Structures are given as C-alpha cells and as structure tokens.
Amino acid sequence: MPVGPSLYDMLLGQIDGEPIANFDDRTLEALSVQQNVRRILNTRAGALKHLPDYGLPDLTNIYKELPGSSNALKRQMEATLLKYEPRIRAIEIAILDDNDPGLQVSFEMTCHLKRTGLVRFGTYFVPPGVFRSERRVREGKI
C-alpha cells in the first residue's frame, strides 16, 4: 500500500521506486498533502516549542474514552489541519464504522485543496496512538 513520497524518495526523484515524472501534478500534490497530514497527526502538541499547538494533544485520555471521544478527536484534527496544512481550503471528516479489531477509530477526510480540488484520505487511529493514512481513489479521481 503506497504511503506517499518520503523525502528520500523525492531526493531520488521517485515515489515507491517509480520516477516522479510518471505522476501528474494533482497526484503529486495529493501525495505531498497526505505526507504532511500524516506528519501533523502523528506529532504531539507541545513537541515543537515554537508552535505549541502543532499536532494533536496527548491521545491517552481520548484513547481511554473511545468511541465516545471520537467527535472531540475529529474536531481537533479539523482545526489543526486547517491551521497547519496551507493547501487545504476546507475539510470534512467523517467517523467511519470499522469492525477491524486492531483499529480504535477510523475517519474519512475529504480535503478541498486550494489548487487541485478534492482529495480523500482514510485515516486510522491505531494503538498506541499512531495515525495511519491512505489516499482513497474513486472512479479515476484523487
């Protein structure tokens, strides 16, 4: 499952071993946004002293109170991503029903990018407090 370009891949001019030239601009932007979303959601607020609200708060209490706390987590994700991912104009996050016993809560994020339109990500909160993200492609669209 592709997870988006790493800095190392970008320096080598490839994504998952495929040359960057094989990707259109919309796909490259979607992969870049996905990588930044993953970075933001996996950073704990306060970890960057100069940006104390960058990332999410300690997820211990949210984790203990799931699924009831999933709405608070959703609102926090929306606010943080709108503030720290400048390519996102608007975002809608839906809580998904998921029967996977390894996942605590799942979301689908529909991001309205300023330049290239819609992109959707499945975002999964996996113990011990790590977010996993994958791009969702529907009918040939990002």
- pLDDT tens-digit map of 68-114: 788 888 999 999 999 999 999 999 999 888 666 656 788 999 999 99
Residues facing 106 on adjacent strands = 96, 124
| Range 7-136 classified under CATH 2.60.120.260 | no
**Residues 25-29: contacts with CB under 8 Å, at least 24 apart:** 25/116, 26/116, 26/117, 26/142, 27/142, 29/87, 29/113, 29/115, 29/116, 29/119
Domain definitions of the chain by residue range: 7-136
pLDDT tens digits, 10-44: 566 777 677 888 888 888 888 889 889 989 998 99
For the chain, give the number of residues: 142
On whether the pTM is more than 0.85, the answer is no
